[in-house]
Amino acid sequence: MPVPLVALIRGLGYAIDIFSITLITLIPMIYYIAAHEIFSAANQFVLSGRLNLDHIEFYIKPYGSSMISLMLAISPLPIVYFRFFFKRLMKTATPGESIVGIASYATSPGIEGLLQESLFGLAQYFISAFAVVFACIGTFMVVCPARQLAIDLVPGINQIPLRGTLEIAICSIIFALLYISAVSIALIPHSRSDVASFFDDYFHLVVKRLR
């Protein structure tokens, strides 16, 4: 398997892990949003360009499960615990690693192994933060010129039904591709046979193919 493809596959696995634990962490906030019909308000904002500030009060609410959920989601705690749970408690690969077929494990037992896994989870957090920034900038640079070009070439495109939903879907796809690519940069393996990356070596992890 070519080295860039190995990196992309591992990046996809880590993206699945990050998405999974973030989604789980945000369940209280998602429930709050659904209960207050903020999804419909957000859709109206996309279509009309006007945002009703009454529908985003949960963002500035200083207490409650939704704010705790949001604070946890932007902290490294969920991904560190996620890795600790699967690697040390369940003794198995994470869901993302299981899907892509490449997993990393700590080489030391006991507290030292727990520390290795926790530090690698922290590294995943910072890699993901970098990838999010890169993907946001890249998506903006791709979508904005394309949107302006589409408006210039097709003057009536603003009247197309579900235009806002289509734009969100396209932006999401571009963002996901750029995010996985950015994560993959940090996971480039040494060679085709040695699929460990610099970060694996630094935290003394061994990388194994599951199939």
pLDDT tens-place values along the chain, 211 residues long: 788 898 999 999 999 999 999 889 888 877 776 766 555 554 554 444 455 555 555 555 555 666 777 788 888 899 999 988 888 888 889 999 999 998 998 888 888 888 888 889 899 899 999 999 999 999 888 888 877 777 777 666 665 555 567 778 888 899 999 999 999 998 899 888 888 888 888 888 888 888 7
pLDDT of the residue at 143: 83
CA distances from 204 to 92, 118, 135, 194, 196 (A): 18, 12, 29, 14, 10
CA dist 189 and 200 (Å) reads 9
pTM: 0.78
H-run or E-run covering 208: strand 205-209
Span between the terminal Cα atoms of the chain, in Å: 13
Q: Which of 133, 142, 144 is nearest to 179 (CA)?
A: 133
195 within 8 A of 201, measured Cβ to Cβ: no
**Six-digit token string for 69:** 């959920």
Helix (H, G, I), strand (E, B) or coil at 73: helix
Do residues 96 and 8 touch, judged by C-beta distance below 8 A?
Answer: no
